[in-house]
C-alpha cells in the first residue's frame, strides 16, 4: 500500500510528529520562516493513493525505486548525520528523499496521499504533472505537483531536491509557497503541495479577451520584481522567468513559480554555473554567449522581456534557435561594445561577434510605450549585465513612481480560467476548427498569428540544437524523456551543485538560420555526429556531409556558407528525427 506508515498528517502547512519533536532533528538548524502546526487527522481513500499504490506494486518486493537508484546521495546541503536521517525515516520520510534534501524536511512530516482528492489535471511540465486537488483535511483547493520518477537518475532526484530546498528558503507573497510534501516511507513517488493559482501570465496575455492597461502592467511588474527581489536577497536565482511561470490567483496576486531550474548563488563565493538555462525568448545575451559566471541580472533581463511583452501585447524577441535569438537581441538592443567583448571573455564571443556593430533601437521600436517605461526597459535589457542593476533599483524606477500608478491587485478584473494549458486547449480547438473550415475552403488566418506568438519555445527544445558534448549514457537515458535533460542541466556543468564545469558548446553551422550575419568562419565545424539532449545520435553520414556554399541574403552581412534550402530541409529532418526518438 502506498502509505505504509499510516501516521498522523498535517492539516496545514506543516505538521510535526512526536518522534520528530523529540529527536535531534528538532534541535538542528531550522529552515527559515517555516511555521509548525500540529494536527491529528483521519483519512479517506482517493484516487491519488491508487496511483501511488500501483507504482509500488509494480516494484513488487524490491526496494522502492528511489532507494534502489540512490547511488550517489552526495548532495552537499543535505548530508545530514546518520542519526538525523534515521529520525526522518522514522517520521515517515523515504530514505532516498531524506538523503537528498533532509535539510528541507526538518520540522515536517509527510502528508498522506489519501488526504487529498484529485480534481483535474491542470498542467504538465518537463518533469511533473500538476493536478488540482482538494485537501480533505482543510477543504482547501491546492495544486499537487507530482514529480515523475519514471526515469529516475540521481541527477533528477538532486534537481528535485534542490527545488524543494530552495522553495523552503523562500517566503514572500509574490513567490509560490510550498505547503507540504506528499509521500511515505516506502514510496518512491512525491507530490509537492502548493496553493492553487487560477491563472498564469502567459495564459492571460495570450487570451484574446485580455488587454492590460498601463496601471495593470505596473501592478504585475511590481509584484514580479518584488518576488525577484526576495529571491535574490535570499541568494536564489530563478533562471526561468517567463509568463507561464508567473501564476496569478483570483485576487490578482502574482507568484513566481517553478523553481525547477533555480539555483543558489553567492556573489562573494562564485561557482561556475550552466549557461543552458532560461527559456529562449527570455534568455539574456550573456547566457547565449556561454557565460558561466552570472548573477541576478539574468532574471532581470527576463523581467525586461516580460515588461515589454505586456506593453506590446506579444513577445518581443521570439527566436527559434539560439543563433536567431542572439540576432534578435542584437537588432533590438545593439551588439556588445568592444569594451564589453574584451572584459566579458565569454566562451562563445568569437563565434557570435557580428562583423558590423548593431545600433541599439529600443526607444524607436517601443516609441508607443508609456514614456516612463522606457528607462526601465533600457536598464533591464542592457547588454552588459552590470547595467541591469537590481530588482530593488527597478522597483524605485520612475515607471512605478509616476502616474498612472500600479493598480491594486484586488482591483484587477476577474478573468476566466486562463492557464497556458487553457491557451493550448484553445489553440488545439482553433486548429481543429481551421482544419474543418479549410476543408470548406476557409482557413481561419486571423487566430494563427496570435497562436504562434502565444507561447515561448521551452528552453529544452531551443537548446537541443547546441548539445554536442553530452555523454552517451545521458543521451540514451533521455531519449524517451523529451527535453527533461535540458530542464536538468548536467550537474557537472552546474556549479550550483558543486560539480566542476565540463563541456562547452559546439555549434553546428547547419543549424544557423540563413538570415544571421555572423561570421561563419568562426563557427567550428565537425564531422563528428551531432549529439543532442533530446534524442539519439543522428546518422553521422548525414551530418558530416560537405556543405555547399550559399550566398547571404536579407540583412546578412558578409559571405557565408550557411545551409542551402536543401541543406536546411535535411537538417530539419535530422532535427525531427532527433526529437522523435
Least distance between ligand ATP and beta carbon 521 (Å): 37
Q: Is 227 in the site for ligand ATP (CB under 6 A)?
A: no
Q: Is 225 in the site for ligand ATP (CB under 6 A)?
A: no
Q: Is 130 in the site for ligand ATP (CB under 6 A)?
A: yes
The correct pick among 126, 274, 321, 485 for binding ligand ATP (CB under 6 A) is 126
The correct pick among 93, 96, 196, 330 for binding ligand ATP (CB under 6 A) is 196
Q: Is 352 in the site for ligand ATP (CB under 6 A)?
A: no
Least distance between ligand ATP and beta carbon 132 (Å): 7
Q: Is 464 in the site for ligand ATP (CB under 6 A)?
A: no
Q: Is 190 in the site for ligand ATP (CB under 6 A)?
A: no
Strand (E) or helix (H) holding 572: helix 565-580
Strand (E) or helix (H) holding 179: strand 178-182
DSSP letters, 446-502, are HHHHHHHHHSPPPHHHHHGGG--S--HHHHHHHTTSTTHHHHS--GGG-GGGTPPP-
Q: Is 14 in the site for ligand ATP (CB under 6 A)?
A: no
Do residues 437 and 443 lie in contact, with contact meaning Cβ atoms separated by under 8 Å? yes
Locate all alpha helices (DSSP H) within 336-488, ordered by sequence.
338-344, 349-352, 362-365, 373-380, 391-395, 398-401, 420-439, 445-454, 459-463, 472-478, 484-487
Q: Which three cell numbers stand for residue 54?
A: 500501483
Rounded-to-integer distance, Cα 458 and Cα 574, Å: 20
Q: Which of residues 136-175 bind ligand ATP (CB under 6 A)?
A: 143, 145
DSSP letters, 207-221, are -TT----HHHHHHHH
Q: Which of residues 407-436 bind ligand ATP (CB under 6 A)?
A: 419-421
Q: Is 533 in the site for ligand ATP (CB under 6 A)?
A: no
The correct pick among 5, 9, 257, 496 for binding ligand ATP (CB under 6 A) is 257
Q: Which of 146, 181, 185 is nearest to 167 (CA)?
A: 181
The correct pick among 96, 127, 159, 399 for binding ligand ATP (CB under 6 A) is 127
Q: Which is nearer to ligand ATP, 203 or 514 (CB)?
A: 203
Q: Which is nearer to ligand ATP, 197 or 543 (CB)?
A: 197
Question: For this structure, is 240 an active site residue?
Answer: yes
Q: Is 487 in the site for ligand ATP (CB under 6 A)?
A: yes
Q: Which three cell numbers stand for residue 332?
A: 533590438
Least distance between ligand ATP and beta carbon 299 (Å): 15
Do residues 8 and 21 lie in contact, with contact meaning Cβ atoms separated by under 8 Å? no
Catalytic residue among 87, 135, 240, 571, which? Answer: 240
Residues that are catalytic:
240
Q: Which residues bind ligand ATP (CB under 6 A)?
A: 122-123, 125-128, 130, 143, 145, 176, 194-197, 200, 244-245, 247, 257-258, 260, 419-421, 487
Amino acid at each position: 500500500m502506498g502509505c505504509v506508515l499510516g501516521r498522523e498528517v498535517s492539516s496545514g502547512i506543516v505538521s510535526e510528529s512526536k518522534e520528530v519533536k523529540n529527536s535531534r532533528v528538532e534541535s538542528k538548524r531550522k529552515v527559515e520562516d517555516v511555521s509548525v502546526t500540529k494536527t491529528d487527522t483521519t483519512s479517506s481513500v482517493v484516487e491519488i493513493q491508487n496511483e501511488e499504490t500501483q507504482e509500488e506494486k509494480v516494484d513488487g518486493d524490491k526496494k522502492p525505486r528511489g532507494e534502489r537508484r540512490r547511488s550517489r546521495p552526495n548532495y552537499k546541503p543535505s548530508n545530514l548525520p546518520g542519526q538525523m536521517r534515521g529520525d526522518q525515516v522514522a517520521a515517515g520520510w523515504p530514505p532516498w528523499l531524506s538523503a537528498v534534501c533532509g535539510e528541507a524536511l526538518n520540522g515536517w512530516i509527510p502528508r498522506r496521499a489519501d488526504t487529498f482528492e484529485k480534481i483535474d489535471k491542470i498542467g504538465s511540465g518537463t518533469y511533473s504533472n500538476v493536478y488540482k486537488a482538494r485537501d480533505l483535511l482543510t477543504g482547501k483547493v491546492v495544486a499537487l505537483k507530482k514529480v515523475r520518477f519514471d526515469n529516475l537518475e540521481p541527477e533528477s532526484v538532486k534537481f528535485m531536491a534542490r527545488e524543494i530546498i530552495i522553495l523552503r528558503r523562500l517566503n514572500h507573497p509574490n513567490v509560490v509557497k510550498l505547503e507540504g510534501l506528499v509521500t511515505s516511507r516506502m514510496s518512491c513517488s512525491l507530490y509537492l503541495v502548493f496553493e492553487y493559482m487560477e491563472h498564469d501570465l502567459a495564459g492571460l496575455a495570450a487570451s484574446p479577451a485580455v488587454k492590460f492597461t498601463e496601471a495593470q502592467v505596473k501592478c504585475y511588474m511590481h509584484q514580479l520584481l518584488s518576488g525577484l527581489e526576495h529571491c535574490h536577497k535570499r541568494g536564489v536565482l530563478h533562471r526561468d522567468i517567463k509568463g507561464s511561470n508567473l501564476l496569478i490567483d483570483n485576487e490578482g496576486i502574482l507568484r513566481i513559480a517553478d523553481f525547477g531550474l533555480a539555483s543558489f548563488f553567492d556573489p562573494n563565493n562564485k561557482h561556475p554555473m550552466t549557461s543552458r538555462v532560461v527559456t529562449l525568448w527570455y534568455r539574456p545575451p550573456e547566457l547565449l554567449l556561454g557565460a558561466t559566471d552570472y548573477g541576478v541580472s539574468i532574471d532581470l533581463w527576463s523581467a525586461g522581456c516580460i515588461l515589454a511583452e505586456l506593453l506590446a501585447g506579444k513577445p518581443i524577441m521570439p527566436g527559434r534557435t539560439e543563433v536567431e535569438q542572439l540576432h534578435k537581441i542584437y537588432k533590438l538592443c545593439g551588439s556588445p561594445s568592444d569594451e564589453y567583448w574584451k572584459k566579458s571573455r565569454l566562451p562563445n564571443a568569437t563565434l557570435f561577434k557580428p562583423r558590423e556593430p548593431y545600433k541599439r533601437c529600443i526607444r524607436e521600436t517601443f516609441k508607443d510605450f508609456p514614456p516612463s517605461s522606457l528607462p526601465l526597459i533600457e536598464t533591464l535589457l542592457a547588454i552588459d549585465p552590470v547595467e541591469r542593476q537590481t530588482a530593488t533599483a527597478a522597483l524605485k524606477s520612475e515607471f512605478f513612481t509616476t502616474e498612472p500608478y500600479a493598480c491594486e491587485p484586488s482591483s484587477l478584473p476577474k478573468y476566466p480560467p486562463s492557464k497556458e494549458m487553457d491557451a493550448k486547449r484553445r489553440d488545439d480547438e482553433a486548429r481543429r476548427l481551421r482544419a474543418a473550415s479549410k476543408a470548406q475552403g476557409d482557413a481561419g488566418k486571423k487566430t494563427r498569428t496570435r497562436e504562434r506568438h502565444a507561447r515561448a519555445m521551452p528552453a529544452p527544445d531551443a537548446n537541443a540544437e547546441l548539445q554536442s558534448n553530452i555523454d552517451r549514457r545521458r543521451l540514451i537515458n533521455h531519449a524517451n524523456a523529451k527535453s527533461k535533460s535540458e530542464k536538468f542541466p548536467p550537474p557537472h556543468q552546474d556549479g550550483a551543485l558543486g560539480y566542476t564545469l565540463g563541456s562547452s558548446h559546439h555549434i553546428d553551422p547547419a543549424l544557423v538560420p540563413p538570415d544571421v550575419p555572423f561570421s561563419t568562419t568562426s563557427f567550428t565545424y565537425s564531422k563528428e555526429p551531432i549529439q543532442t539532449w533530446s534524442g539519439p545520435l543522428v546518422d553521422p553520414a548525414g551530418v558530416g556531409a560537405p556543405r555547399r556554399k550559399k550566398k547571404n541574403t536579407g540583412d546578412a552581412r558578409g559571405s557565408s556558407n550557411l545551409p542551402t534550402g536543401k541543406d536546411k530541409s535535411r537538417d530539419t529532418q535530422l532535427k525531427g528525427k532527433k526529437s522523435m526518438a
